[in-house]
Chain A
Amino acid sequence: MTEKTEDEKWLDALAASADQPSSKTELEAGVIRASLLQTINSRPIYEPSESGFQRLLSDARQQRLIYPKKSPSRLQGVINAVYEFLATPACVMASVTLIVGLSVTAGWQADQLHDTEAETVRGGSSAGQISQVVPSPQAAAAAWQKEFLEAGVTHAVSFETQGRILIRIKLSAAAIDLLASKRIQPPAGEWCTLVIESEKVKP
């Protein structure tokens, strides 16, 4: 082990004052140490303040360096945000409103379609016609309507008079099958009209 230089001994003596300085170096270091200690003790101590910390927090928030909660990855963040939004009462209400709205709109459009078709029937469409004479046109029309609904056949009912009811039918595959099951040959064309008349009215 190499012997320490005078400068190293000086530094050691500066770090820990010798009670009895035995050399000029130790004596010199002791005087410097005492002087520096006096300077340190006379200097006001720096303490970071609470107001300083609050100012730091405020600046950090302003610069978006402080986050309200843990920041996930961008993709995870988007997914979480969507889930969180979907789970909010506002979103649930909005979804219910949207579905109801769509249902109402669809219903209104269907009614509109039915009305239009009924108008067409009243206006004398050129589509083919199927006639049926029954004791009670209303009961027969109700029965037809039920079957059309169950088979998913687009149709529109028009009560022309008390003894005569017209049902406008879209001749889809389902409609053709339904008519065939009743041994009724559908006319050509996309649409046809089922004319239900009362036996009393029919001459």
Chain B
Amino acid sequence: MTDEAIILALTGGGPHQTAALRRLYQKKGREFGRFFVAKGLSHADADDVLQETMLKVLKQVGTFRSDGSLNSWLWQIARNTLIDFQRQKMRSTEDTLDDDQWLAAEANPAMQTTDPTRPAKSVDDCVTKGLAKFASKDPERAYALELVIEGVDGKEIADRLGRTETATRQYLTQSRKHIAPFIQDCLQLLAA
């Protein structure tokens, strides 16, 4: 099913509309859901954001310009929906936690991705811990690097990040410098 056919079916109503929505949900739902989880959402929250994303797609499908990329447009909606969700969640968390609770939450090991006091057993262990910390600080970049490792092409990564291909290439190459502080000690072990 081409992009044009999907858009036509989504705006047309009837059984074709439901079929197109199912196809889109199955195809993009997996990618969106994984993106949401990579950005720190639980599976239950990812379900909710996916639901909201698909509803927005249906609401806004009439505004899609045929000369644009459907994939970029869909990812833009997914990213914006995630941002809205995270802002809303942050507001509700701030409303429910007082200062003491914030301190307690920060001290809670369950809320930390790594335990910095635990010594690394090996270079690999050290790198894994460092990258986990990096991912919690910069989940989008970590997600982008995962896509590179999985062999996703530059255009697709650019669509998902909402950047141009050139900007995405630059963003990815700069990642080495961003990761370095988190694995510096590990690399010294590697050199040794």
Contact = CB atoms under 8 A, between A and B. Distances in A.
Chains A and B form a bound pair: yes
Interface string B3-30: 0000000001110011001100110011
Interface string A26-53: 0110011111111110011111110011
B82 interface: no
A46 B43 CA distance: 7
A interface, over-half SS: helix
A82 to B, nearest CB: 20
A156 interface: no
B59 A65 contact: yes
Q: Classify chain B's interface size.
A: 35 or more
A48 B55 contact: no
A183 interface: no
Given A35-B127, A35-B131, A70 B145 contact: no
Interface stretch (A6-14, A106-114, A145-153, A189-197): A6-14
B interface, over-half SS: helix
Given A48-B50, A56-B54, A70 B12 contact: yes
Given A52-B50, A66-B21, A43 B37 contact: yes
Interface stretch (B72-80, B88-96, B98-106, B146-154): B146-154
13 contacts: A11-B173, A11-B176, A15-B149, A31-B186, A36-B142, A38-B128, A39-B131, A47-B30, A48-B47, A60-B21, A63-B59, A66-B18, A68-B13
Given A10-B176, A15-B149, 8 more contacts: A33-B149, A40-B146, A45-B34, A48-B33, A59-B51, A66-B13, A66-B18, A69-B13
Interface of B: 12-14, 17-18, 21-22, 25-26, 29-30, 33-34, 36-37, 43, 46-47, 50-51, 54-55, 58-59, 123-124, 127-128, 131-132, 135, 142, 145-146, 148-151, 172-177, 179, 183, 186-187, 190-191
